[in-house]
């Protein structure tokens, strides 16, 4: 038998162990049923279950869920459209999500996979400070796929910048008409 504070009380008869538990207003919990003789511990079992549940909830809060977002491109994409898609990928990476970038080939475009790979490498090069390539560009049927993951450093820097930035915008003095009259 083990006391609530961890002190070994030695081998006790079952009735004596139950009496000790009742006097201390604690439960007897069997911790080693296969031992000879079985080992029991005096504890508040309700409190023990509560602490285990709280520890499990805390572990779940610390767990990070990573979403995989997907962006689809074509090999003959224009510069403006490419910049727009790059902006989406940048936003996803800043948000802590992984990004699956897919180049879709149509018709004879699949005969020139180097165009798609060049486009993916260009995207990865542009976003080098925010993310890293998790899986290299790979041709899968008529699609070329690359996965990018956010860098940890970029997230920490962004949080530091957010702390340094003023929390509330500066207030303008006077009404709109007064400001117009002053200028």
Does 26 reside within a domain? yes
Domain limits for position 142: 68-162
Rounded to two decimals, what is the model's pTM? 0.53
User: CA torsion, points 119, 124, 127, 132, in degrees to nearest 10?
Assistant: 160
What percent of the chain has pLDDT above 70? 83
* Token pair in block for residue 116: 């798609």
Does 88 reside within a domain? yes
pLDDT at residue 155 in the model: 47
Residue 29 per-residue DSSP state: E
Q: Per residue in 61-84, pLDDT tens?
A: 887 777 899 999 999 999 999 999
DSSP3 helix / strand / coil % (the chain, rounded to 5) = 45, 25, 30
Does 102 reside within a domain? yes
Does 140 reside within a domain? yes
Determine the average pLDDT of the residues in 85-106: 92
Q: Give the angle subtended at the CA of 180 by the CAs of 176 and 182, to the nearest 5°.
A: 120
105 shares its domain with 24: no
- Burial readout 77-116 (b: 16 or more C-beta within 10 A, e: otherwise): eeeeebeebbeebbebbeebbbbbbbbebeeebbeebebb
73 shares its domain with 139: yes
Cβ within 8 Å of residue 90, ≥6 positions away: 127, 130
With cut-offs at 50, 70 and 90, classify the pLDDT of residue 180. low
How many separate domains does the chain show? 2
């Amino acid at each position: 038998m083990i006391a609530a504070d961890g002190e070994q009380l030695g081998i006790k008869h079952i009735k004596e162990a139950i009496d000790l538990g009742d006097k201390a207003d604690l439960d007897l919990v069997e911790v080693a049923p296969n031992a000879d003789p079985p080992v029991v511990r005096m504890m508040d079992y309700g409190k023990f279950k509560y602490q285990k549940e709280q520890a499990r909830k805390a572990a779940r809060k610390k767990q990070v869920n990573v979403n995989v977002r997907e962006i689809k491109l074509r090999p003959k994409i224009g510069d403006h459209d490419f910049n727009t898609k790059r902006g989406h990928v940048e936003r996803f990476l800043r948000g802590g999500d992984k990004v699956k970038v897919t180049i879709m080939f149509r018709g004879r475009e699949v005969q020139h996979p180097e165009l798609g790979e060049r486009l993916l490498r260009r995207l990865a090069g542009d976003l080098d400070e925010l993310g890293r390539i998790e899986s290299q560009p790979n041709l899968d049927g008529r699609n070329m796929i690359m996965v990018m993951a956010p860098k940890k450093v970029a997230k920490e820097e962004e949080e530091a910048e957010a702390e340094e930035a003023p929390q509330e915008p500066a207030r303008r003095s006077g009404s709109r008409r007064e400001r117009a009259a002053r200028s």
